[in-house]
Amino acid sequence: MLNQRTLPRIGLGTFRLKDQDVIDSVTSALSLGYRHIDTAQFYANERAVGEALKQSDVPRDEIFLTTKVWWDHLQPQALRESLEESCRQLGVEYVDLALVHWPSPDDDVPMADYIGALSEAREKGLTREIGVSNFTVAQLDQALSVPGGEHLITNQIEVHPYLANHKVVAHCQEKGLQVTGYMPLAVGKVMDEPVLKEIAEAHAASPAQIALAWVAARDIVVIPSSTKPEHQQSNLEAMRITLSADEMARIDALDRGERIANPDFAPAWDA
């Protein structure tokens, strides 16, 4: 993990956003100061994200752009070709970070094959950095042990007050990997949480801001999705909120292992 770049503390997630919605969302975020945009092949919005990048005045080299390779493109040649297609869709020569979106179901493609192919894509300049997403502790250890695994910089996983994911977070950080947390607002469920409402009142903030501040305080990169400029701005401002140890502990206690992203091809999660 030498010479890796640090991911910006907050980024804009684009899951479920399509067409003009994603163009408007990315354009607005960039104008507000976001410099980290997260997309994926599976989101089917790379072309629209690229259009927003083209419309923006922000120079390409100031934007940290992440995409993800879907699990049916993990054979080495398919992985490389799909990343080339992602770059074409995005209208860029390279992405800043390419992730394996999900580990290969049932190890259909050997991990050494696709981690090696991801590392080769990095060497060829298709991506500046590489990482994984939705990897368990055991899978992460395996990924780090195969050739090319030494270049991995992050594991992007679901993290929010109802799924603290302590075991995976701690393991990643012990191994020197950054953790990126997706769905940090639990698809809006945090807004109605009494504990977050109470803490928010003490900070003149919103429950969403408190949830984001809690994730960020754990040294986790957050990538909330939002289409409204006022929400994007308030998410940025959440990075300035400092929670007390007692407040952190109260939010920690909300963890109930509630997993939102759990498709039938998901790995056997860590307890």
Quick check: 11 and 223 in contact, CB under 8 A? Answer: yes
φ and ψ at residue 132, rounded to 5 degrees = -130, 170
Alpha-carbon distance of 142 to 106, in angstroms, equals 14
Torsion of CA 171, 173, 177, 179, to 10 degrees: 90
Taking the mean position of all CA atoms in its chain, how far away is CA 161? 16
Alpha-carbon distance of 229 to 43, in angstroms, equals 21
Alpha-carbon distance of 195 to 104, in angstroms, equals 38
151 is in an annotated binding site: no
Cβ neighbours, 10 Å, residue 138: 12
Tell me if residue 94 falls in helix, strand or coil: coil
What residues contact residue 67 under an 8 Å CB cut-off, 6+ apart? 39, 40, 41, 46, 83, 86, 90, 95, 97, 98, 99
Quick check: 11 and 96 in contact, CB under 8 A? Answer: no
Q: Are strands 178-182 and 220-222 parallel, antiparallel or unpaired?
A: parallel
Query: Which of 43, 114, 162, 182 is the catalytic position?
Result: 43
Taking the mean position of all CA atoms in its chain, how far away is CA 8? 11
Concerning whether 162 is annotated as a catalytic residue, the answer is no
Residues belonging to the binding site for substrate are 101
Which residues are known catalytic residues?
43
Binding region: 101
